[in-house]
Amino acid sequence: MDNSTEPGVKQVNENQCQQCMPLGGVVAFKGIENSMVIVHGSQGCSTYMRLVTVEHYNEPVDIASSSLNEKQTIHGGEANLQKAIDNVIRVYRPKVLGIVTTCLSETMGEDPERIVAAYQACHPANDVEIIPVSTPSYQGSQAEGFFAATKAIIARCAKPTAPHSRINVIVPHISPADIREIRRLMDLMGCQYTLIPDYSLTLDSPAGGRYRKIPHGGTATGEIARMPGAPMTIQFGETCHEEISPGAWLQKQFGVPLVNLPLPIGIGATDRFLSTLQTFTGRPLPESLALERGWLLDGMADAHKYTGVTRAAIYGEPELVNAVVRFSVENGIAPVVIATGTDRSLIAERIDPFIADLDEPPALLEGTDFAAIEATACKAGITIAIGHSGGKFFTERHGIPVVRIGFPIHDRIGGQRILSMGYSGTLAFLDRFTNSVLETSYATYRARIRGLNDISQGA
């Protein structure tokens, strides 16, 4: 594998490939029932996070702010944060209140744990679970903020409990549609489970009824409290470091066995997920899922004559990139550039077994930006890109199609409904990919023929 960045050399980001760490924390808190979140930083931070989430999910997303300015930067932001807590509890009446820090508050040396303790001491009757999380963007990306917040939520709410049969399921930042698909697979396998964080309703609410400041849905704190008694934790977090891994924390603190899996995109990864559930439940694969698997195999055979000649740049959050690389190799797609804005992921060792036998070693870019991705991809001669809307320049500047997956998607509708998980989701993803190849091929074949004729006549 070609690592184009020298070890230990930190590159300057010209157009970052990842979102900020506190934004990942915000999304995780949105997956908890009756929760609200405060961004401890400047007003601009929370405004940016609202904009990005609203554009992607097409839902009203409330995010509070402690609104630090020059004065608080000098004298401290404790008063602002305590006032923000007061206001949010009064207006929203949440059961859980998350507090995520920013570069500003962390650089100032703010201690949200101490501030929250002081607030609780002054408000002994307050029954809101206030959970601060350290999420400065100079320390990590959105993916790390998501896992760090999920771990903090579990660590605060989990209680010693008697053994039971509910499996813990921990998901990374995926679409609400994909969360619903994972739920469907668990239900078809006859499993009882606690899935966290579950924003499949809170960030993708159906129309109807009166507006609610905090939408229905989310993982209940009562379910989280019982997670230490689970027989197993399934965590889709192969690229997650142990210090921010919720599943590793449950294993260490309560002895809950951890099974770390790749996201179920593609035949191999979905087989592995369902095989894990079959081993646990002792049940055979339902006929409906066997049919879905067969349809996917049929679709792979149908598409192979088109996918087998493509050269792809795959970019985004590490866990999703990890899954898409495997999907690509299964379908004969050459992943010539693999990139993520996270610089501390475990992606290299996870994908090595799947790319070891490729004719052309991919270029792996970690902690990278789109300037580096563009330069590397153009040099590698990619014909298609897979990732979020940040890579739209591939089409705008080079005429290369982008198959959209991940977060954020702000130049297309329905980012929250993009389905890519399981056999059915993988087939839908494969169809989107193949049709993008065909659309580009049919739109440009006359120009390519003219070019070949010109070359022939010139010779």
Task: For residue range 329-375, list pLDDT tens digits in order.
Answer: 999 999 999 999 998 889 999 999 999 999 999 999 999 999 999 99
- Residue 455: predicted pLDDT: 54
- Judged against a pLDDT cut of 90, whether residue 391 lies above it is answered with yes
Q: Is residue 62 part of a domain?
A: yes
Tokens of 57: 């999910």
Same domain, 129 and 223: no
Residues 40 and 109 in one domain: yes
- Residue 38, in any domain of the structure: yes
Listed residues 87, 121, 140: the one ending a domain = 140
Q: What is the pLDDT of residue 448?
A: 56
CB 21 within 8 A of CB 317: no
Question: pLDDT at position 18, please?
Answer: 87
pLDDT surpasses 60 at 454: no
355, 329 contact by CB (below 8 A)? yes
Asked if the model's pLDDT at residue 442 lies above 90, the reply is no
Judgement on whether residues 184 and 245 belong to the same structural domain of the protein = yes
pLDDT digits (tens, 9 = 90+) for 47-71: 999 999 999 999 999 999 999 999 8
pLDDT band at 11, cuts 50/70/90?
low
pLDDT, tens digit, for every residue of 84-113?
A: 999 999 999 999 999 999 999 999 999 999
Q: In 3D, which of 273, 271, 274 has the Cα closest to residue 261?
A: 273
User: Residue 16 — very low, low, confident or very high, per pLDDT cuts 50/70/90?
Assistant: confident
Does residue 265 share a domain with residue 309?
no
Is pLDDT at 157 greater than 90 in this prediction? yes
Model confidence at 176: pLDDT above 60: yes
Mean pLDDT in residue range 409-426: 96
User: Which is it for the CA torsion 397, 400, 406, 411, positive or negative?
Assistant: positive
Residue 452 identity (one-letter amino acid): L
pTM for this prediction? 0.93
**pLDDT of amino acid 211:** 87
DSSP per-residue string spanning 180-237: HHHHHHHHHTT--EEEES--TTTTSPPS-S---SS-S-SB-HHHHHTGGG-S-EEE--
Beta bridge partners of 20: 141
Tokens of 184: 């469907």
Q: Is residue 274 part of a domain?
A: yes
CA distances from 377 to 13, 230, 344, 371 (A): 17, 45, 22, 10
Residues forming beta bridges with residue 404, ordered by sequence position: 387
Q: Which pLDDT score, from 0 to 100, does residue 411 have?
A: 94
Return the biggest CA–CA distance within the chain: 86
Q: What integer pLDDT is reported at residue 6 of this predicted model?
A: 47
Residue 75 binned pLDDT confidence (cut-offs 50, 70, 90)? confident
Q: Which residue has the higher pLDDT, 124 or 3?
A: 124
- Mean per-residue pLDDT of the chain: 93
Are residues 370 and 317 part of one domain?
yes
> What is the structure's pLDDT at 7?
43
Exposure on the CB side of residue 391, measured as CA atoms within 13 A: 35
Is the residue at 146 inside a domain?
Answer: no
| 331 & 425 share domain | yes
CATH label of the domain that carries residue 246: 3.40.50.1980
Confirm if 335 and 408 have CB atoms less than 8 A apart. no
What is the rounded CA–CA span in Å between residue 241 and residue 163?
Answer: 27
Shared domain for 263 and 321, answered yes or no, is no
Residue ending a domain, among 281, 303, 335, is 281
CA separation (Å) from 178 to 91, 127, 289, 419? 32, 33, 16, 5
**Domains identified in the chain, total number:** 3
297-333 residues labelled b (16+ CB within 10 A) or e (exposed): eebbeebeebbeebbbbbbbbbbbbbbbbbbbbbbeb
Q: What is the pLDDT of residue 8?
A: 44
Domain coverage including residue 423: 289-429
Same domain as 381, residue 293: yes
Whole-number Å distance between alpha carbons of 410 and 57 = 9
Rounded alpha-carbon distances, angstroms, from residue 39 to 102, 103, 201, 291: 7, 11, 22, 46
* Contact residues for 6 (Cβ-Cβ < 8 A; gap 6+): none
Angle at 395 between CA 457 and CA 51, to 5 degrees: 170
pLDDT in tens, 240-278: 999 999 999 999 999 999 999 999 999 999 999 999 999
pLDDT recorded at residue 210: 85
**Mean pLDDT (whole number) for 381-396:** 96
Residue 1: predicted pLDDT: 59
The model's confidence at residue 386, banded by pLDDT at 50, 70 and 90, is very high
For 127-146, the pLDDT digits (tens) are 999 999 999 999 899 999 99
CB-count burial class (<10 Å; 0-12, 13-18, 19+) for 125 = exposed
| 334 and 235 both lie in a single domain | no
> Averaging pLDDT over each range in 115-124, 186-195, 201-210, which range is the top one?
186-195
Beta-sheet pairing, 311-315 with 384-387: parallel
Domain assignment of residue 151, yes or no: no
Q: Does residue 128 sit within a domain? A: yes
Position 453 in a domain = no
Q: Tell me, what's the pLDDT at 118?
A: 95
CA-CA-CA-CA torsion sign (5, 10, 15, 20): positive
Q: Which residues have CB under 8 Å from 25's CB, separation 6+?
A: 37, 98, 100, 133, 135, 145, 146, 148, 149
Please, which residues have CB within 8 angstroms of residue 111's CB and are 6 or more apart in sequence? none
